[in-house]
Structure 1
Amino acid sequence: MTEHQPTTPAPELALVPGLDQVETPAYVYDLDEARRAHGLLRRMLPQPSRLFYSLKANAHPAIVEALAGLGCSAEVCSSGELAAALEAGVAPDRILYTGPGKRDAEMTEAVKAGVGWFSVDSPAALDQAARTAEAAGVTVRCLLRINDSSPAPGQSLTMTGVASQFGADADWVLSRPGEFAARPGVELAGLHLYMGSNITDEDALVAQFTTAVSTARRITDSLGLDLRLLNLGGGFGAPYARSGPLPLFDGLARRVAGLLDAEFPGWREGGPCVAFESGRFLSGSCGSLLTRVLDVKMSHGRPVVVLESGINHLGGMSGLRRLPPLVPEVRTAVARGHGGGVLRGAIVTGPLCTPLDTWARSLDLPEVRIGDVVEVRNVGAYGLSASLLAFLGHPMPQEVVVDGGRITGISRLDLVRRNSVRLNSGGKE
């Protein structure tokens, strides 16, 4: 892996006209940076190949639309993400619907929308696809997701090789292939192997793709598949909540192409079409969080900085199991005319009424005062989308879109409670 950037990074936010007047807290998404990240990743992948953008990282319509405009397909795993992809203009036949469990209503909705592919994790999921196909009078194309026998190295979040809700164990498929045969109305024509997440070492990526390609070959032969789509997943890492460049994997395309040549010699002509997924690499570096300082004080001899944003706006999703714990790099974005001192060992918190709302217990950061605006970079992926938005009911941050160095849109998510059934005092409708 090489730590350098061959293209010009996005401009400093301070250079964007009008951004200093935007109400904080605010996430700012620079579409030029998302496009740059896309170009970077495409050059590091073997060609020809398809690239799916994983909306779980950030489903903001401007980001989805920008990446779709560059040729990205979409990977979704909920009805909300499906709606976001369709509204952003992604063609239904370029959408892959994944997830270890899908409600019948979700499957029906997606099939009626014309979704191109579904990833299934078990014989029961194949049965569900068959029922849905029969009811709709269509054929549903499926990828069988595989949970390999051993975990791949270098993962920050293990997705395979352990007991998991994701995929069918490779040994299960190989020992009882009949359970995974195609059903009426179901075209089982692909495999899905997603082995790890947030990997920043090229050798570790190659190791996981080596295992995935080898396993895919064995499964294909065992099931007698007419393999049309081979989704090798991704796991391409990116810096999170800290400054730093996107990692470069200079030899990845050549090395993975060699693996594919050995096991699937027709892949260069589309037999099978090879696909990869990415969320954080494509959207992570395009986003920054701007948040204002609400209070600065001393407590038991330690500086304490209280911000507008806490775990409700950044880093609240414990399910990501980030190791080490999230400690954002806080940079001064807009200061009110004071010097360049440093607060040593500061406790940095949000405004929530819980001691859990802490970004850092001992952080060196620029000396700030009440009213200053600070910036956390590289939070375009799993920033707002992975936060505790409903916790304690504080206002949502604004989301600001910057394109070509200018603000092109400002929006805000809202949580709205709707009564589906209204009961009288006796508990009756």
Structure 2
Amino acid sequence: MTLLTDLARTYGTPAYVYDLQAVRSAHADLRTALPSGTELYYSVKANPHPLVIACLAGLGCRTEVASPGELDAALGAGVPPDRILLTAPGKSESAVAHALARQVTHFSADSPTDLARIAGQAERLGVPAGCLLRVNADQAVPGMGLSMTGTASQFGADASWILREPHLFRGHDMARVTGLHLYMGTNIAEQDKLLRQFTIGVELAAALRTSVGEHLTTVDLGGGFGTPFARQGDRPVFTSLAKELTSVLDGGLPGWRDGEITVAFESGRYLTGDCGHLLTTVLDTKESKGTRFTVLDTGIHHLGGMSGLRRVPPVSPDVLHATATATATATDADGVRRGTAPAPRTGAGAERTRTPGVLAGPLCTPLDTLSRNTPLPPMETGDVLAVPNVGAYGLSASLIAFLGHHLPVEIVVDAGHVVSATRLHLTRHDAGPGETGPSSLPAHHLEGAPV
């Protein structure tokens, strides 16, 4: 915790801290868990920080993006256009044109309409595109926390529809179908369930190749590799997955070892989840009608905002003491608290009995609670806390525009040294009719600024 303590003292809270050494370690573990010779995409939605994107691109990852903003983030981080795949169940003409104008020509297409839209923009701009056909499997994989396909879904085209009317899915002159995209679930920590979903994907890909066309050269089997979120715990290591997957690929997609077909996987959560901590300061502790409340300077606008709106299960994060007290506070030019941070809490005082209480944020809404009736360690006003395992789906998956609070500092460290400290700002720009893109946005634009 010493480094976190120093960072809280220097940059104040709330603050996200991302460790690039942890990113490299996760990448090494995942590459070991996947068959040699397969491709790996980093899903930018997990953490779009440019240094995180650049780190994984430098390790050999291709990049999967799901919006013009993510696409620009990848290009800005130095990812070559030909190593970017644009996905999403709904892509507007302007989003497709935005990609093609920047020489990003690889797409995942979810329907005949989507294929036609990509083809139309490719013809208009004179830039040929290649498409992976996103497939919604007819068979679900049991035991998944969040299914992407295998049920009624906005993602992809049902496999039965493709097999019934394959002529609708063979692409266009300027938008050729070059492969298949199967992504069945997310946040799966059990190796047997991962293997089961990939086995279903390989079997389906083998069937569809003979239906849609033997010219298909890529099968993207998705990912879903799980890891703890906002709770203590180690990232799982899938020790025998590579061997078992290799056998599955040999049986279902012969020729993949010789490069006849490229097999790809995707990950965002696994690659970045354990690289991040969220530092936060206790603003108040009090009791209300017999309930203990601990109010923090962070909340659903910085962590798990979708959970705060009850769209997904509650986060209920673990909070660990990073400091004993904040002995002095000041306010910087942006109105953000900065506090000094003494040594981490240690000894018997750190192990005192936890008591149930509510962990609340500073927002003016009763929905701003991170946990309820959860055993919490003793806390005092000014204590600095750390939430672990929030390198993925932290800040970017939260309600950053709600109530206008300043966004947390984002600090990137490598080998114990700070390599970047920036803060995103929301700004408003004029927008012309029908215009999109970084030079003319219809609402808010995220800008990074050094701290």
The TM-score normalised by the length of structure 2 is 0.88
Spell out, residue by residue over 1:370-397, the C-alpha distance to the aligned partner (whole angstroms, 9 max, x if none).
Answer: 1111000000100101101111111111
CA distance in structure 2 between the aligned counterparts of 1:128 and 1:18, rounded to whole angstroms: 48
Give, in angstroms, the shift of residue 182 of structure 1. 2.3
SS at structure 2 position matched to 1:304: strand
Which of 345, 357, 373 is matched with 2:384 structurally?
373
Which of 348, 353, 365 is matched with 2:359 structurally?
348
1:3 maps to what in 2?
none
State whether structure 2 residue 125 is matched by structure 1 residue 136.
yes
CA distance in structure 2 between the aligned counterparts of 1:288 and 1:411, rounded to whole angstroms: 15
On the 8 A contact 2:44/2:65 being kept in 1, the answer is yes
2:167 maps to what in 1?
178
CA distance in structure 2 between the aligned counterparts of 1:109 and 1:386, rounded to whole angstroms: 23
State whether structure 2 residue 427 is matched by structure 1 residue 416.
yes
State whether structure 2 residue 290 is matched by structure 1 residue 301.
yes
Spell out, residue by residue over 1:90-113, the C-alpha distance to the aligned partner (whole angstroms, 9 max, x if none).
Answer: 111010100011111111111121
SS at structure 2 position matched to 1:334: coil
2:373 maps to what in 1?
362
Q: Let me know the Cα RMSD of the aligned residues.
A: 1.7
**Counterpart residue identity of residue 15, structure 2:** A
Which of 305, 319, 328 is matched with 2:317 structurally?
328
**Counterpart residue identity of residue 404, structure 2:** G
Q: Judging changes above 3 Å, is the alpha-carbon distance between structure 1 residues 89 and 389 closer, same or farther for their aligned structure 2 residues?
A: same
2:336 maps to what in 1?
none
Give, in angstroms, the shift of residue 207 of structure 1. 0.7
**Counterpart residue identity of residue 413, structure 1:** L
**Counterpart residue identity of residue 304, structure 2:** G
1:121 maps to what in 2?
110
Q: Judging changes above 3 Å, is the alpha-carbon distance between structure 1 residues 359 and 27 closer, same or farther for their aligned structure 2 residues?
A: same
Which of 145, 149, 158 is matched with 1:156 structurally?
145
State whether structure 2 residue 243 is matched by structure 1 residue 232.
no
**Counterpart residue identity of residue 59, structure 1:** P
On the 8 A contact 1:312/1:391 being kept in 2, the answer is yes
CA distance in structure 2 between the aligned counterparts of 1:201 and 1:106, rounded to whole angstroms: 36
On the 8 A contact 1:77/1:97 being kept in 2, the answer is yes
Spell out, residue by residue over 1:236-280, the C-alpha distance to the aligned partner (whole angstroms, 9 max, x if none).
Answer: 001000111101111111111111101111111222111000000
1:425 maps to what in 2?
none
2:396 maps to what in 1?
385
State whether structure 2 residue 215 is matched by structure 1 residue 204.
no
Q: Judging changes above 3 Å, is the alpha-carbon distance between structure 1 residues 15 and 413 closer, same or farther for their aligned structure 2 residues?
A: closer
CA distance in structure 2 between the aligned counterparts of 1:192 and 1:86, rounded to whole angstroms: 23
Spell out, residue by residue over 1:195-234, the C-alpha distance to the aligned partner (whole angstroms, 9 max, x if none).
Answer: 0000011110111011100001111101123121110000
Give, in angstroms, the shift of residue 365 of structure 1. 2.3
On the 8 A contact 2:5/2:322 being kept in 1, the answer is no
Q: Judging changes above 3 Å, is the alpha-carbon distance between structure 1 residues 188 and 225 closer, same or farther for their aligned structure 2 residues?
A: farther
SS at structure 2 position matched to 1:326: coil
State whether structure 2 residue 35 is matched by structure 1 residue 46.
yes
**Counterpart residue identity of residue 35, structure 2:** P
Q: Judging changes above 3 Å, is the alpha-carbon distance between structure 1 residues 94 and 421 closer, same or farther for their aligned structure 2 residues?
A: closer
CA distance in structure 1 between the aligned counterparts of 2:137 and 2:154, rounded to whole angstroms: 12
Which of 399, 402, 415 is matched with 2:410 structurally?
399
SS at structure 2 position matched to 1:351: coil
On the 8 A contact 1:16/1:405 being kept in 2, the answer is no
Give, in angstroms, the shift of residue 321 of structure 1. 4.6
2:67 maps to what in 1?
78
**Counterpart residue identity of residue 406, structure 1:** H
Give, in angstroms, the shift of residue 294 of structure 1. 0.2
The TM-score normalised by the length of structure 1 is 0.92
On the 8 A contact 2:105/2:128 being kept in 1, the answer is no
CA distance in structure 1 between the aligned counterparts of 2:234 and 2:211, rounded to whole angstroms: 42
On the 8 A contact 1:192/1:233 being kept in 2, the answer is yes
Which of 10, 16, 20 is matched with 1:31 structurally?
20
**Counterpart residue identity of residue 263, structure 2:** V
**Counterpart residue identity of residue 391, structure 1:** F
On the 8 A contact 1:17/1:406 being kept in 2, the answer is no
Deviates more, 1:107-116 or 1:187-196: 107-116
Give, in angstroms, the shift of residue 409 of structure 1. 0.8
Please list, as runs of the form range in 1=range in 2, the aligned pairs for 1:186-335 lying within 5 A after superposition: 186-318=175-307, 321-323=311-313, 325-335=314-324
CA distance in structure 1 between the aligned counterparts of 2:78 and 2:143, rounded to whole angstroms: 35
Give, in angstroms, the shift of residue 420 of structure 1. 3.2
On the 8 A contact 1:153/1:207 being kept in 2, the answer is no
Give, in angstroms, the shift of residue 15 of structure 1. 6.6
CA distance in structure 2 between the aligned counterparts of 1:136 and 1:14, rounded to whole angstroms: 50
SS at structure 2 position matched to 1:414: strand
CA distance in structure 2 between the aligned counterparts of 1:389 and 1:15, rounded to whole angstroms: 23
